[in-house]
Amino acid sequence: MGKFVVPKLGLPNPATLRRYKPGQPALEGPALLGAAPGGRLEKVIEAQLHRADIDVVSTPAGKHAALVFDATGVKDPKQLREVYDFFHPVIRSVGPSGRVVVLGTPPELAEGHERIAQRALEGFVRSVGKELKRGATAQLVYVAEGAEEATESTLRFLLSSKSAFVDAQVIRVGTETKTATAPADWAKPLDGKVALVTGASRGIGAAIAEVLGRDGAHVVALDIPAQGADLSKVANKVGGSALQLDITAADAPEKLAEYLTTRHGGVDIVVHNAGITRDKTLGNMTEGGWDSVIAVNLASQLAVNEKLLADKVLRENGRIIGVSSIAGIAGNVGQTNYATSKAGVIGMVNDGAPKLAEYGGTINAVAPGFIETKMTAAVPLFIREAGRRLSSLGQGGLPVDVAETIAWYANPASAAVNGNVVRVCGQALLGA
C-alpha cells in the first residue's frame, strides 16, 4: 500500500543504504584524513585506519568514501576556521553511504575558549548530517586525553556499513580513560563471550541475537513462555540457548543469576531489549497500562542489574546495554508511560556509568528511531510514512541497524565507551 501511494505523492525515493556483509571492503574508496594544527589524534588514527584495511590519503583524491578530521587542536573559536578549511573544498566529494567523522576533546574536560570551541563542533556535525545526501552520515567523537588508543572500535564502527542508520551522533570515548583490548579477530570480536538478550524471540531482539552470535558470542535468548516456539527458533539459528522467563516476575533476577552461573559460569554482555507499549493519552490511561510499561521497560532491568552486579555474575569487562527510544528523548502523544520508561533507561545509563567503571565494565544504551518491525507496521499508513520520512536519511531503519550498534558497545575494544546514549534514527527530526 505504502509503496503504491508514496510515489503518487511525489516524494523522492530514499537512498539504498550500504549495509554490512562479511568480507565486504571496509570502505568503498579512500578516506581523506586531516587535522587542525596541534591535534593529538591524527597519527594514532592513521595507524588504526591502516589496520582496518582503509586506504588513507592526506590530500584530496577525487571521490572519498570518508572524510575524517582531528579537531582536537582547535583550542579557540577562531580556530574553528580549520574545520571549514578542511571540509569546504571536499564535502561534495563524499560518495554514497559515505562517512564524515570529526574527532574532538570532550568539552566538559576542557576549559575556557577550548571548551567553547569544542562544544561548537556539535552544531557543525549535526548540520553536515542534514546536508549530506545519498545515505552519507556525519558523527562527532569526543576522545578524552589518554584514550587516544581506545578509539579504534568506535572508528571502525562509524566508518563501516554497520552504522548505516546512525547519523549525527555525539559519542564520548574514555571520559574515565580506560585501556581497551583489541579482539584477536575483528571478525569474531565476541569469541568466548556469553551474551544475554531479553525479548529475543522476534523483531529487534532476534536481530541482536543474530549479530552477537555472528560476532562469536554464545547467546542466551530470553523471552516470555508464550513466545517459546519463536524463541527456540532464534536460539537454534544462532547456536545459543533459549530461556523462557518473564523478566517482571519477582524471582526473575534470582532465577537468571542462577541460570547464568550454573550453565555458563557468568555472563559478559546483558542486553535489555524486552519492551512493551500500552499507548493511551494520559487521561485515558489505566493504572495497569502505566505499571506494566514501567515494570518491563525499566524496573525489571534495574532489579536484574543490581542482582548481577551484587553476585558478580557479570564478569570483569562486562557490558550492560539498554534499549531506550527517541520517544524517551522527545516525548510522544499517547506514550507518557513508554517515554517515561525510556527516559528512565537513559537515567539508568547516567547513574550506572560510574558504578560500572568502578566494577570494570560499561553501561550504554541505544535509542532507536523508526525501525521496520511488526510494532511499527501496525502504525497507520500516513503516520508511518511520516515517521520514516522525517529524518535526514528519509527512511526507516532495520532491526539489524540497532543490533550492530549494540555489537559495537559489546566489543572488548569498546571498554572506554561508557555512559553513551546513541540514537539509531537516521537523524530523525523528533527531539533533534
Does the active-site annotation cover 338? Answer: yes
Task: Report the alpha-carbon distance of residue 334 to residue 289 in Å, rounded.
Answer: 11
Task: Report the alpha-carbon distance of residue 35 to residue 320 in Å, rounded.
Answer: 34
Least Å from the CB of residue 65 to ligand NAD: 29
Neighbouring C-alpha atoms within 13 Å toward the C-beta of 228: 4
3-state secondary structure of 346: helix
Strand partners, 383: none
Nearest to 273 by CA among 229, 307, 213, 224: 224
What lies within 8 Å, CB to CB, of 258 at 6+ separation is none
- Please give the C-alpha separations between residue 219 and each of 203, 257, 271, 308, in angstroms, as whole numbers: 16, 15, 10, 17
Judged by CB, which is closer to ligand NAD: 159, or 304? Answer: 304
Task: Report the alpha-carbon distance of residue 390 to residue 92 in Å, rounded.
Answer: 23
For cell 529475543, the residue is 200
Judged by CB, which is closer to ligand NAD: 373, or 418? Answer: 373
Q: Degrees (nearest 5) of the Cα angle 28, 32, 33?
A: 130
Least Å from the CB of residue 370 to ligand NAD: 6
Continuous H helices in 53-167: 81-87, 112-131, 152-159
Least Å from the CB of residue 424 to ligand NAD: 8
Residues forming the site for ligand NAD (CB under 6 A): 198-199, 201-205, 223-224, 227, 246-248, 273-276, 296, 323, 325, 368, 370-371, 373-376
Judged by CB, which is closer to ligand NAD: 26, or 295? Answer: 295
Least Å from the CB of residue 247 to ligand NAD: 4
Q: Which of 142, 259, 338, 409 is catalytic?
A: 338
Burial of residue 74 (number of CB atoms within 10 Å: 0-12, 13-18, 19+): buried
Residues present in the chain in total: 432
Least Å from the CB of residue 324 to ligand NAD: 7
Contact 153, 178 (CB under 8 A): no
Least Å from the CB of residue 125 to ligand NAD: 23
| Residues designated catalytic | 338
